[in-house]
């Protein structure tokens, strides 16, 4: 009778050793865990509040221009990052940048001010 109880307990013990605890953060290729990017407006003074003409003067021709109702998104791409500038009208004035989003070409997070700085250095906006 002891064998009948011991054998299933041994099997359960062996199976329990097959699980892997999921307590660690996922690791990106390159062996480093993703680091959260702080969200501040420091370094964005040249962009926040600009209209479409000001953005084009700063970054060159947008790589994408998407309109939805009165809102507009201009996208600028470089080898370092992709910047989405969201323009919204206020009080009947031409739409201006109120929000920015930045990411690396692979989609991972990047500091928005670093992306703005990199894109202003693009040759001819490309």
DSSP H or E stretch at residue 110 = none
pLDDT at 19: 46
User: Which residues, 6+ apart, have CB-to-CB distance to 82 below 8 Å?
Assistant: 75, 76, 102, 103, 104, 105, 115
Q: Is residue 97 pLDDT above 70, yes or no?
A: yes
- Model pLDDT for residues 60-80, shown as the tens digit of each residue: 999 999 999 999 999 999 999
CB 83 within 8 A of CB 115: yes
- Model pLDDT for residues 37-47, shown as the tens digit of each residue: 555 555 788 89
Distance CA 101, CA 91 (A): 24
What is the percent of the chain with per-residue pLDDT over 90, rounded to a whole number?
53
pLDDT at 91: 86
The model's confidence at residue 20, banded by pLDDT at 50, 70 and 90, is: very low
Q: Is residue 125 pLDDT above 50, yes or no?
A: no
CB 61 within 8 A of CB 125: yes
Average pLDDT, integer, range 99-113: 94
């Amino acid at each position: 009778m002891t064998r009948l109880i011991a054998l299933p307990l041994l099997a359960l013990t062996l199976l329990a050793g097959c699980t892997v605890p999921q307590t660690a953060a996922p690791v990106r290729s390159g062996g480093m865990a993703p680091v959260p990017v702080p969200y501040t407006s420091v370094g964005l003074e040249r962009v926040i509040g600009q209209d479409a003409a000001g953005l084009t003067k700063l970054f060159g021709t947008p790589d994408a221009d998407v309109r939805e109702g009165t809102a507009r998104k201009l996208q600028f791409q470089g080898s370092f990052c992709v910047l989405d500038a969201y323009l919204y009208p206020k009080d009947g004035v031409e739409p201006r940048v109120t929000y920015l989003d930045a990411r690396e070409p692979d989609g991972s997070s990047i500091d928005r001010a670093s992306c703005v700085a990199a894109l202003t250095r693009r040759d001819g906006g490309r």
